[in-house]
Chains A and B, each alone.
Chain A
Amino acid sequence: MPSHKRKKKHLKHKHDKTRQSSKQHPNSRTRSSSRSSSRSRSRSSSRSNIDCDYGTKNLKCKERIRPRSRSTSDSDEGLRKNSFSRSHSKSNSFLEGLNTNDNKHSRSCDKREFSKQKADIESPVATPLDWNFDFRKFKYSLGKIFLTDKYFSKITDRGSQEHDDFWAFVSRYQDFQKKKLQRSQGSNMCEDSNEEKPGLQLGLPQKYDVQYKVNISFRSKEFDIFLKKNRLVDHQLEKELTRDRVIQFRTILIHFLDFQQKQKFQKLHKIQHDQRNLPIYMYKQEIVDTLKKYQVVVVAGDTGCGKSTQVPQYLLEAGYEKIACTQPRRIACISLSKRVGYETLNEYGSQVAYQVRFEKSKTAATKVLFLTEGLLLRQMTTDPLLEMYSVIVIDEVHERHIFTDFLLGVLKCILMQRKDLKLVLMSATINIGLFSGYFNNAPVIKVPGRLYPIELEYCPITRDDTSDSRRLDPTPYLRVMQKIDHKYPSSERGDLLIFLSGMSEIMSVVEAARAYAQQMKRWIVLPLHSALSVEEQDKVFDIAPEGVRKCIVSTNIAETSVTIDGVRFIVDSGKVKEMSFDPKYKMQRLQEFWISRASSEQRKGRAGRTGPGVCYRLYDEADYNDFQDYSTPELQRVPLDSLILQMISMGLPDARKFPFIEPPSISSLENSIQFLKEQGALTSDESLTPTGQMLSMLPVDVVIGKMLIMGSIFNMIDPILSITAAMSVQSPFTNKAYTDSEAMTARKPLESDHGDPFTLLNAFDEWIQVKAQGQGTRKWSKRRGLEEQRFYEMMKLKRQFSDLLRDHHLLDGGEPTQRYLSSEQRRAQHGERKRLAQLRKEKMRERKRRKVLTLEDEEYKISDEEEDSKEGDIKDLEFRLSNDLSQLQETSNRSRSLTLRDVNLVKIILCSGLYPQVAIADECNTYKRDSEQAFHTKSKPFLLLHPTSTFAANPDVLMPKDAGGKRPAPSDLKGLMSAKHELFAYVSLLETNNKPYLVNTMRVPALQTVTLFSNCIDTNSDCTRLLCDGWLELKFPEAETAEKVITSILTLRSTWYALLKVSLLDEASAEIWGQFTHGMQRHWICPGCGVAMVVSVLERLQHQAACSGEGGEGLKATEAAEEEKEKEKELNPHRKPYHCQDCGETLSLTTTEILRHRKSHSAGTSASN
């Protein structure tokens, strides 16, 4: 057996790491000769050279292939390699011959290396190797032989994805080979003959083997050594790891490399393939060309046409470099930037980046930036013409958010000044004419969406049984479910999505549908609305088992915000509950409306995302035709306070003249301007006050912003941060919190007598405590009907708020100094970090597979298993790592030990933002549970407590305090003089089901609140009667008390104003002043009245304030009050008029302390309505 011998010889003396080099060996001579001559040789002559080559090779081939036919092995690697190498090198020379002038194809780089290592790896055994060997057991040794190069370091890293992938590949490959071996043994059919067929010119190996299809190989020094010496230099190999096995492993590794390359290419190819299959791809050139010609282009395309991801890329490709793409939602910015980064193969670069309120990934290299509309507007305060961008893309213009509309107006102005700026508006195919017309008939490019046909059926509800009009009748919805059951076999998949207007409607349909589902066993009914916990919401994405459909009963949240795949049937009630805003009462109103035609089409479209669908409309076609064309833009539905404040700070002084695309009502504008004036944010001539200046810089609601400012001025920031954060997120109380009696009892200790803001504060602090004690907060939250997610959000917001305040120097100190950790703590932290990484990885994998629902899944149960929620664990660990729990616990302990005095201060701070949002109780209230208590505000009488309020459950705490503990008859209360009268500050008014409610209420002392914050106080001559803001009247029994009260009020108000001025105008020096106010006295002549005096800074400020009258506060006092002020000037500010002897003694109070102090002593006067 000559060939066999030869092989052995090869093995002994020559070995090779790669098949690549092996292909060189049989005719390296030929190769070099052809190469040396190829440059000058003509094409034909080189061919002849090859031909003669070919002959000799074929000879060799025959000779060598013979033994192979005897072996049944599929893996006789050496043989394969030999024949392969021959043909390959042949083709190489052939190639070179043809390419005489083109040295692109010549391989000179590694020629020498090849000849050095020309040898084959051949198997000396004749019997084929089985594939049953467990290579996993020898990971370490195999790693030593093959994977020492840096390129493989991921494979050897046991925690990495590539490591897992590789070993999974190894077992798959082995399984595959095993099966293949069985098959070939079973049939013993060999399709490809080894015989030479005549007339073949390419010299390809005729015995097919998958190895020939691999174009990759690798080198490993250790492997060479192993081949030479059968061992490694520095590592003892296991004896099971025979030479054959090692060579076998090498084959697997090569196949893995090939597989990996193919996989990666596939990924790359798929991206491009998908991009080209998007409907918008056809319009790529048109979009780019039109934008070159015109300044503004409208791209209108329906969902799924790809505009949001593709247009920014088209612009980038067209050479634009400073591209801003706005999105109405923050999450969309982040996910789009990720997606576009991925598609432009910049996943890890920052060419495509995002920037949202508190986060950014933008760098100097960024060319495409996704940002929120609000942020782009904010950038205009520093860059009024947006010169940092050359193209601005505004996505989802049709959604008409308040900032979208504002941005459109602002850009219209900027475009006139910047002819080089390009603007792309992207919209659904709704109301395109409006946008195009607004920008001087800008060209419109219409892109069809990718939708499957949708069958439409009108099934109007016949109203014969409208006896109970309050509750929605679920029968029509059940009828549709039955219809689906009859008409479509359960083997055809496809879920049902029902659009209803609100939560109670959802509840009644869900209830009925579940009863039906129980009976049929063919449905899983899932509600979907924003008050559900995150986990419950996520259930709608899970998959129903075979033969069962999901029935998702949703609000309009599923219309645009949440997209569920696999929906085939739609039931559209045609109704929506929408928040409207009544500027007259500053009241939000949740009302049921017919939807617009646009959103009815949108709802229908949800059925055709993944296949043809059916839409049942539970109204008449005539109704449909009567629908409004489009939904009302947000601008016309919400308070405009923040918007106007921002406009003024951007240098647009008159909102009434702003070119809105569709202007809001004049009354809405005027009301907001009035409100801002009342809040002390605008002066009477509508310019910004220092407070207004600061508020315009804080990207939060005016009310919240004011609380934050005051909270930092009065050093009471932590509870204020918690409360404002809680007010800015959705309530952590799920609707279960108010229905489940167990949850209600468990929650009892959290409830505060003082009101809802304090209940929120307690809940949050308690949550931190539980967390700090290392207990499961998830279970804790669930038991109390709380949504834990909200607390994490609050935590984030709190931090963001304090960062904001720090940025504007309202809060001192940078980040808390580095904590010192013991080695044990460090170790624990390291452990947590590791666990976090692992959990994240697991979750990523899990996410790939959607869970399959079971029929029981619709029941939402409180389970004690905490371990099943990785999400929760991840959040928990993230939280622990990013926060110093012990420190948090400390602050929360502090807020637990709030004294009454502190509570009062917190109330005052909250009121500073909330005022004039106060209500007074009706005199006839019974304060009994189960009866409704009425309240009145200045503009709106007879408001009720919202059922979620702490007070609604315990109305007795609202009882007037001077009643002596007995429940007085309403008639007794009438006209009663009380020193402890209380008002109710509220965060908002909300009208649902035609009942107006106070939301988020808090008890506040009446006299102090009103006198401190009202914008105008009218008095009689001896000040025994005060009429505050024209509706609340205070009466004093004695003129002396009245005098004292008035005096202190004036002192306080001027000090308050001065303090604000100092804090906001002179941020940097304010602190120092605070410290030295009392020590430093100097001569000063008041420019107002020309009196020379020796005063402290504080006194000076007070004098100034007094001298310059009421200043921007808008305090409008009567003549009597003027007199009081004169008196006040003479009074030593120390002489705090009433109560507490302490005050008289502690003369050197800081301004802060004066105010703080004052809050706690506030009895002794009487007030009445």
Chain B
Amino acid sequence: MKDKQHLLQFNQKIQLTIVSFDGIIKETDNKLFDWKTGSSIYDTHPFFYIIESLTNDSSTKEFSFPCIHFKNNTSEKLCDVSIKIKHSEIAIIFYDYTEKYKELNQIAQQRNESFLKSKALALKNKYLLEKEEFKNSFIANINHEIRTPLTSIIGFVEVLEKTKLSFEQEELTRIIKRDSQHLHTLVDDMIDISKIESGQLKIVEERFVFSDLIAGLNESYSRLADEKNLQFETYIDSNIQEYLIGDRMRIYQILNNLLNNAFKFTEEGKISLSVTKNYQRTNKLSINFKIEDTGIGILEEHQPHVFDRFTRFNEEKQISGTGLGLAIVKNLIDTLNGEIKMTSQPEKGTIFNIKLPLKFEITKSAPERKKKKYTLPENKKKFRILLVEDEETTQYLVMKTLITHGSFYVDVAIHGEEAIHYIERRNYDLILMDLKMTKVDGYQATHMIRNNYGDKVISEVPIVGFTANTNATERDKCLKSGMDDFINKPFKREDLIYIITKQIAKKAAD
């Protein structure tokens, strides 16, 4: 009984239609579609245009077309269609499998959707990566473009400071200097964050005098504490080795950033930096840095976001900054495999605790201190410098800085080719070599000087690379190309004089 019912039901889902070769419906049982005999099958659905290509002869043939969509205004049927051609008649049998196909459709939909979603995600990811790459290269380029005029501003302000100024001019100069140094910090922050994000931040391990690093901070911030009428204290655990191995510059940057913040947000009371040893194993040690202030503190709801980028909680207080400082600190500490914790109470103050792993080695000789004192040799009254630089303002600034110092003559070449022309005609005590120049660039010119001349006065002249590009790769490239040293733009007057003096003194000692 059940089987018979099933058969009857199934029968309701099959339609037989007989059509002539010219497409006229001769017979139809209309179980699925309501078509009139005598009408053209071509008018019922475009599928039937297929008949034209199947009836080029009257031989017996059979074709099967699975899953054809027959849609009218109210419903859609998904049918398998069998077309049998015999003599001059065409028998079309429709099998309605709508339910079965709709079930299959759901499965296919899920399978394809999940595949396409993963592809769309991969595409989005690719797009974001490309955007990120573009952003990083844009920042790197803009860095170069900003640093060059900034070199001029900072340099000329330093030159200007040393001239006779009225009280008002002195004040204005002080403001220009403060703001241009602030701009310099902002550019550095941008570069750092883009390096961190693109994974280009390289950790440089070097041996250094740890107490000198803290002493440097102590010196700078004691002055600021005096200006702001604040107390400032530093403490170093005497158990910490004198010489440590780690990224001195990045540790300085972390502490400098946190102290800078502490001073920004503290109007009265005390700021302290204390450094203690956590533990020591073989040649490794962990150091704790604690920076504590009695400043305005951070509201509890703001505390989880303190290390987020572009976070500033005190807009109304008009304190300058990019909101990148603490994000950089956190990223640098992560890169150095350290950790940072913060506790803060509004109106009472903030404490940052940092743990950093460092190394040490027991050595008899002390590492070279960063700022060893050098003096110019006494065999000459004045030293001749060749400045190879295409930027007019930088040329003027360097000339002004060196000539004002009183110990130097300066010649200027605008590119490497002209520099070669000069050194073949005159002896120089040092060459300041820009890197990016038209015609012959700084690396090519250095290579030519080092390799093309038998005269040692030419081939062994000290060369100092001079560029706005600050990355470590550039520095390595300079040294590998045969340069003796490297100075960044913007430079400080004393740094430029120091490097020139150092290289001339070293050459004289050879």
A and B associate: no
Q: Which residues of A contact B (CB under 8 A)?
A: none
